[in-house]
Structure 1
Amino acid sequence: MESDHHHHHGPLSDGRLAWAIAINVLLTVVQVAAGVVSGSLGLIADALHNLSDAASMGIALLAQKIARRPADRLMTFGYQRAELVATLINVTALLLVGGYLLIEAISRFVSPTPVQGWPVVIVAGVALVIDILTALIIYRGARHSLNIRAAFVHNVTDALASVGVIVAGTLILLYDLIVADLLVTVAISGYVIYQAMGLLPRTVRLLMGAMPDDLEYDAIVAALRATPGVRDIHHLHVWNLDEHRRALEAHLVPEADDLAAFEQLKHRVREVLRKRFHVEHATLEPCIADRTGAPIVRMQPPHRHEAAAGSDKTGRAH
C-alpha cells in the first residue's frame, strides 16, 4: 500500500545501538560475577539496572526496525507505534527490577551478609566509565525518540548508581560499614522506580490516543470556529499517531452549502491546523446544521460498506 505519511527517525544508527547493547551485556556479566564473589547487593543492583538498559536498547533496536516498515493493509498508519509498545515493555521491566531490589535490600537489613570492598570499588569504577561511554553513544538519538531517550536517561542514572556503589565500597573498606551497600541498593531501586513512573503516564497516553500534551481542546475548537467560512464544528477528535505525528478528525458546519466551496474551506482549515497546532493529518467532513447550529445531515454521501453492497434473493439491497 502506498503511503504519504512522513516518518521521523532519529539519527541513531542500528550499529551504534548494537554496540551499546553489547557493552552493557558484557558489563552486566562482570558486575553480577563480582557482586556474587564480593557479596555486594549494591553491585548486583547496578548490574540488573544495566541489564534492563541493555534489554531496553535491544527492544528499541527491534522497534526501530519494525517502525521503518511502510504502511500496509494491516497497519494503515504505519508501524511507528512499535517504539511506544517497546517503551511500555521497558517501563514495566524497570518497575519489576526496582521492586525486586527494594525487597531484597529490606531482607538484607534484617539478615546482613559480609561485603568485600575492593571488588565493589574496582568493578563499579569500570561500570562508571562504560555507562558514560554508552550514554555518549546514544545521546544523539535521545533527542528524537522517547524510547531512546529512556535508554539515555537510564544510562545516566546507571552512572550515578555506579558512583553510589563506589562510595559504598569505600565506606566498607574504611569503616566496615556494610549498611552503606544496602542504602545504595535502596537508593538505586528507588530511582529506577521513580524513572519508570515518570515515563509511564506519557507512554500510556500516547498508546491510548489521548490529546497531545502541548495542545488544548478548547483552543483548537476556537481556532477552527474563527476560520473564515466555518459556522461551527462538531465531533472533534485529536490524537497522536505516534510520538511525532498528530491526527485530527472533525465535522465542519460551513457557511455556504456548496461542496466546491467546502474544498477551499478544508484547505484553509488544514493550514490553520498545520501552522498553529502541527497537525499533519486532518480528516474533515461537512455537515448541514439546523437553526440552533446542531448538525442534522452530512453533505457528502454516506460511506459504502462492502457488507451492505450485496443483495438478497429477491434482488433488493440489504
Structure 2
Amino acid sequence: MENHEHNNDRRLHHHDHHHHHSHLETGTVNGRNLVLTMLLNLLITVVEIVGGLLAGSLSLVSDALHNLSDAAAVAISLAALRFSRRGATLEKTFGFQRLEILAALFNSAVLIAISLLLFKESATRLLHPQAINSSLMVGVGVVGLLANTLAVFLLRRDAGRSLNVRSSYLHLFSDALSSVAVAAGGMAIYFWHITWIDPLLTILIGLYVLKESYEIVSDTVQILMEGTPKGVKLEEIYKSVKSLPGIRDLHHVHVWQLGERQINFEGHIDLDKDISISESEKLRREVEATLRDKFGIQHVMLQMEYEGCPGTGLVRDTRSQLI
C-alpha cells in the first residue's frame, strides 16, 4: 500500500495492491497428466501417419496432423504453466501469467491453419477420388479413438481451470471425434464403396474445430487487448461505488485481466469533501469490499481525490495522448 500527498492539500492519491487469485480459480493443473497426454499423442501420430499412407486415407492423415499439433499444444501448455507460476521480477513485475494466454492463442491459431489446409486437400479428393484400404483405415481409426479418448479423460478436469489447457483439451476432443468419424467412414467404404465420405468427414471435422478454435482466439485476444472481462458491467460498478456515502464520483476506470483468473481494477475516487487520510482509508476499504463481494474483483488499485480531475468520465479517452 502506498500513500502519496501532493503539494495541493485537497488531493490525495491512494494506491492499494492485493495479489490474490479471483474466485474463478478452482485448483492447480496436473502436470503429469499433460506429460502422459503428450506422449500418447506422439504415439498416435506415428501410427496414423503410417496407417494413413498405407491405406490412402486423407482423414487418417488429417487425424495424424491434428494429433501432432496436439502433442505440440500440450508441450506448449505445460511449459506455459510452469513459467506462469514463477514469481514477479524487476524486469517482469507482473510475472509470467500471460504465457498461458499466448499459448492458448498459438495452439488455436495452428488448428485453424491446419483445418484450412485440409479443406483444400479434401476438395481435391472429392473431385478426384482415390482407392482406400478400408480395413486398415478402420483398424487405425479405432486405435486412435482409444488413445484420444484416454487423453481427453486425462485433461477433462483441468480444462475447466485453465484457458490454456482448454485449448489443448479441444485439440484432443476434436481428434476423438475425428477418430470416430474415421472408423465409421472406413466401415462405410468397406460395405458400400463410397470413397467420397473420407474427404467429406475431414471437412465436417474441420468445421467443428474452426468453431471451437475461433471462440478461444476471441477470448485470448480480448485478454491480450486488455478489454473489459466478460461479465463485468462498468455501469453497474459505477452505480454501486457512487452510491456509497462520501463518494462523489468514480472515473478514469480500467478493468482488465492479467491472466484468465485474475481481474484487475484501477480507478479514481472523487470524495465529497476534503478529509483525512485515515477517513479516506475507511472509504477505500468500503469500495474494495463492494468490488470484491458484488463483482468478484480482488486486485484493486484506487486513487483517492478531492476535486482532483474535473470534467472526466467513467472511462478516460486517451486518444489525444497518442497524437
- Which residue is 1:198 aligned to? 215
- Which residue is 1:299 aligned to? none
For CA contacts below 8 A with separation 6 or more, give which structure has more relative contact order. Answer: 2
Q: Residues 241 and 6 (structure 1 numbering): CA distance in 2 closer, same or farther, change over 3 Å? A: same
CA separation in 1, counterparts of 2:310 and 2:283? 18
SS in 1 for 2:226: coil
Q: Structure 1 residue 284 and structure 2 residue 308: aligned?
A: no
- Which residue is 1:270 aligned to? 288
1:256 alignment partner, one of 273, 276, 293: 273
SS in 1 for 2:252: strand
| 1:21–1:58 CA contact under 8 A, matched in 2 | yes
Instruction: Could you tell me which runs of 5 or more consecutive residues in structure 1 were left unpaired when the two chains were aligned.
Output: 296-318
Q: How many residues align?
A: 292
Q: Residues 46 and 134 (structure 1 numbering): CA distance in 2 closer, same or farther, change over 3 Å? A: same
SS in 2 for 1:289: coil
- Which residue is 2:75 aligned to? 58
SS in 1 for 2:93: coil
1:159 alignment partner, one of 169, 176, 181: 176
How far residue 9 of structure 1 moved from its aligned partner, in angstroms, is 7.7
| 1:56–1:151 CA contact under 8 A, matched in 2 | yes
Letter in 1 for 2:160: R
CA separation in 1, counterparts of 2:42 and 2:182? 19
CA separation in 1, counterparts of 2:169 and 2:292? 31
- Which residue is 2:12 aligned to? none
Output the TM-score relative to the length of structure 2: 0.86
1:14-53, aligned counterparts within 5 Å?
14-53=31-70
1:1-318, aligned counterparts within 5 Å?
5-6=19-20, 10-258=27-275, 259-289=277-307, 294=311
SS in 1 for 2:228: coil
The RMSD of aligned alpha carbons is 1.8
| 1:124–1:162 CA contact under 8 A, matched in 2 | yes
| 1:91–1:199 CA contact under 8 A, matched in 2 | yes
How far residue 293 of structure 1 moved from its aligned partner, in angstroms, is 6.1
Letter in 1 for 2:187: T
How far residue 211 of structure 1 moved from its aligned partner, in angstroms, is 0.6
How far residue 5 of structure 1 moved from its aligned partner, in angstroms, is 2.5
How far residue 207 of structure 1 moved from its aligned partner, in angstroms, is 1.1
| 1:5–1:77 CA contact under 8 A, matched in 2 | no
The percent of aligned pairs where both chains have the same amino acid is: 34
| 2:111–2:213 CA contact under 8 A, matched in 1 | yes
- Higher mean C-alpha displacement, 19-28 vs 109-118: 109-118
CA separation in 2, counterparts of 1:108 and 1:19? 35
- Higher mean C-alpha displacement, 191-200 vs 33-42: 191-200
| 1:117–1:173 CA contact under 8 A, matched in 2 | yes
Instruction: Could you tell me which runs of 5 or more consecutive residues in structure 2 were left unpaired when the two chains were aligned.
Output: 1-16, 313-323
Q: Residues 64 and 9 (structure 1 numbering): CA distance in 2 closer, same or farther, change over 3 Å? A: farther
| 1:253–1:287 CA contact under 8 A, matched in 2 | yes
SS in 1 for 2:260: coil
SS in 1 for 2:104: helix
Q: Any idea what the Cα deviations from partners look like across 1:149-188, whole Å, max 9, x if unmatched?
A: 2222332221111111111101111111110111111112
Letter in 1 for 2:20: H
| 2:247–2:271 CA contact under 8 A, matched in 1 | yes
- Which residue is 1:312 aligned to? none
CA separation in 2, counterparts of 1:257 and 1:294? 18
SS in 2 for 1:17: helix
SS in 2 for 1:235: strand
CA separation in 1, counterparts of 2:292 and 2:273? 24
How far residue 12 of structure 1 moved from its aligned partner, in angstroms, is 2.9
SS in 1 for 2:306: strand
| 1:94–1:192 CA contact under 8 A, matched in 2 | yes
SS in 1 for 2:264: strand
Letter in 2 for 1:206: I
